[in-house]
Chain A
Amino acid sequence: MVGQIGPLVQVGRKRTALALHVVGGLAGGAVIGVVLGFGGLLLRAALGGTLDTVFVVVVTAALLYAAAVDLGVLRLSPVTWERQTPGSWPCSLGHYPGIFGWGFDLGLGITTRIPYQSLLVLPLAALLSGDLATAVAITAVYGASRALAVVAAVSAAGDDYAAACDAIQTRVLPLKRLVGATGLVIAALIVIS
Chain B
Amino acid sequence: MANTARLSGLVGLAALAGLAAAVLVGGAAEPAIGALPVFVLVSLSLVVGLSTAASP
- 8 Å CB interface, A61-97 against B: 84-85
Instruction: Count residues of chain B with CB under 8 A from any CB of chain A.
Output: 40
**Least CB separation from A157: chain B residue:** B3
Verify A145–B38 contact, CB threshold 8 A.
Answer: no
User: Does A175 sit at the interface, judged by CB under 8 A?
Assistant: yes
| Inter-chain CB contacts under 8 Å: number | 171
Q: A140-B21, A149-B49 are in contact. Are A130 and B32 (CB under 8 A)?
A: yes
Which residues of chain B come closer than 8 Å to A122, judged between CB atoms? 41, 44-45, 48
- Please state if B49 and A146 are interface contacts (CB–CB under 8 Å): yes
Shortest beta-carbon distance from A90 to chain B in Å: 15
Distance of A179 Cα from B44 Cα, bound (Å)? 8
What residues of chain B lie closer than 8 Å to A130, measured between beta carbons?
31-33
**Residues B7 and A152 in contact, CB atoms below 8 Å apart:** yes
Contacts of B28 in A (CB 8 A): 133
Of the four ranges (under 10, 10 to 19, 20 to 34, 35 or more), the interface on chain A belongs to 35 or more
* Cβ A149 vs Cβ B53 within 8 A: yes
Chain B contact residues: helix, strand, loop or mixed: helix
Beta-carbon contact of A141 and B46 below 8 Å: yes
Q: Which residues from chain A contact B41 at a C-beta distance below 8 Å? A: 59, 122, 125, 129, 134, 138, 186
Whether the Cβ atoms of A145 and B3 lie closer than 8 Å is no
Q: A interface vs B, CB < 8 Å? A: 1-2, 4, 44, 49, 51-52, 55-56, 59, 84-85, 106, 112-113, 115-116, 118-119, 121-122, 125, 129-131, 133-134, 137-146, 148-153, 155-158, 165, 168-169, 171-172, 175-176, 178-179, 182-183, 185-186, 189-190, 193
Some 14 contacts from A to B, beta carbons below 8 A apart, are A52-B32, A113-B56, A115-B55, A122-B41, A131-B29, A131-B31, A131-B33, A134-B41, A137-B25, A149-B11, A175-B54, A178-B47, A179-B47, A182-B44
